Amino acid sequence: MNNPAYPTDAKQRATRILDGCGGHSIGAYSDSAGVRVIREDIANYIRQRDGHPSNPDDIFLSTGASDAIKSIMKLLLTGKTGKDRAGIMIPIPQYPLYTATIAEYNAHPIGYYLDEDNTWALNIDELKRALNEARYHCKPRAIVVINPGNPTGQVLSRENIQSVIKFAKEENLFLLADEVYQHNIYAKGSQFHSFKKVLMEMPAEYSNMELTSFLSTSKGYMGECGFRGGYCEAVNLDPDVKAMLLKSISAKLCSSVAGQAAMDVVANPPKPGEPSYELFEKEKSDVLGQLAQKAQLVTKTFNSIEGVSCNVVQGAMYAFPRISLPPKAIQAAQAKGQNPDAFYCFQLLENTGICVVPGSGFGQKPNTFHFRTTILPPVEKIQVMMELFKGFHQKFLQTYK
């Protein structure tokens, strides 16, 4: 703290966090919901982001966003089996956390297909189809929305979010907004709208709805995955339910206090005029600027290749291109007991060293094939990778034509 090599604003932030910790140390347990000053900083971050009040008592810190999501999903369970078990609506393609947690909790996944022909938007008719078909198998309780999307990289429009909120109100569904990629917006015309902001600016019948939203230190421009820092804001919760939520998280004592401190750095970054500001802004803009460049490069290259189509990577860190596989390749996959997209991805790995994830690992419409790739490698490596991919794909089509 006395070392002049560290900027004064960084030391002031560290002192403030330590003063909020028991024994002035991150080695002590915190309140179950998290260190109070950190929750205050997060509430202020949300207030500045959305232009609407945020209460620190509505915020709890967690071991990454995943832990908070699981805590909220536990509240939604019926404790019953068969047709009386809870049903959770999840997007397809989806982040596997959701199917894994639903299976662990013996709930029922209600998959709704994202509209690939409309930049992976949520189609209300599709939501209704999925919900109506699921009623015979479960009691629908909630809908999960991932925005920006993983693995699909879309950014939802404000109008789309409004229509989803209205659907949730009409069907009496609890809203879970997975917004961990909210800092990652690249495409021209795309803008992040938080579910809370849109909800609060709708008529009272909607603005009073129960909503939880999540953020993590693992994503965005930070990429601090190992700290396992995250938070949930739970608004308009019934007071008795909120009391049960706090009781349930208290059984885990608290999330990592080092992770909580990392979350504070995300929520309370350097301000204009502070010693760290210029360097922070330069590093942040460099990271996001390179991601935007790579998002454009990946989209353009995939769409230039025969048999490959890819929606614009509007946000997050992934592309989810669709591949057209020849019948002969599908037959070869079946002969090996593999999904066709997995067969393709293994061939890609073995021939080029490029590792992508088959679309079947995330879910996809029947008889369509995709894979997920990140846009995280450096620009020069992405360029090499795309050239290798292009050569492999052309050879693959030639082999199985």
Write the pLDDT tens digit of every residue in 92-111. 998 888 999 999 999 999 99
Give mean pLDDT, residues 287-299.
92
**Which residues are registered as beta bridge partners of 89?**
110, 143
Instruction: Please name the amino acid found at residue 300.
Output: K
For residues 209 and 200, give the distance between their C-alpha atoms in angstroms, rounded to a whole number.
Answer: 9
Work out whether the CA dihedral 34, 47, 216, 179 comes out positive or negative.
positive
E strand map for 119-221: 139-146, 174-178, 211-216
The answer to whether 237 and 208 have CB atoms below 8 angstroms apart is no
Write the pLDDT tens digit of every residue in 206-221. 999 999 999 999 888 8
For residues 301 and 304, give the distance between their C-alpha atoms in angstroms, rounded to a whole number.
Answer: 5
For residues 95 and 107, give the distance between their C-alpha atoms in angstroms, rounded to a whole number.
Answer: 17
Helix (H), strand (E) counts: the chain: 14, 12
Write the pLDDT tens digit of every residue in 167-178. 999 999 999 999
Write the pLDDT tens digit of every residue in 152-198. 999 999 999 999 999 999 999 999 999 999 999 998 889 999 999 99
Is the predicted pLDDT of residue 319 greater than 90, yes or no?
yes
pLDDT on residue 187: 85
Indicate the helix (H) or strand (E) that contains 87: strand 86-92
Give mean pLDDT, residues 17-43.
90
Domain architecture of the chain: domains with CATH? 8-267 (3.40.640.10), 277-399 (3.90.1150.10)
Task: Measure the CA angle with vertex 190, ends 188 and 196; round to 5°.
Answer: 160
pLDDT on residue 226: 87
For residues 256 and 22, give the distance between their C-alpha atoms in angstroms, rounded to a whole number.
Answer: 14
Residues 6+ positions from 333 with CB-CB distance below 8 Å: 339, 340, 342, 343, 344
Is the predicted pLDDT of residue 253 greater than 90, yes or no?
no
The answer to whether 26 and 265 have CB atoms below 8 angstroms apart is no
pTM (2 d.p.): 0.91
Is the predicted pLDDT of residue 65 greater than 90, yes or no?
no
Residues 6+ positions from 226 with CB-CB distance below 8 Å: none
Is the predicted pLDDT of residue 88 greater than 90, yes or no?
yes
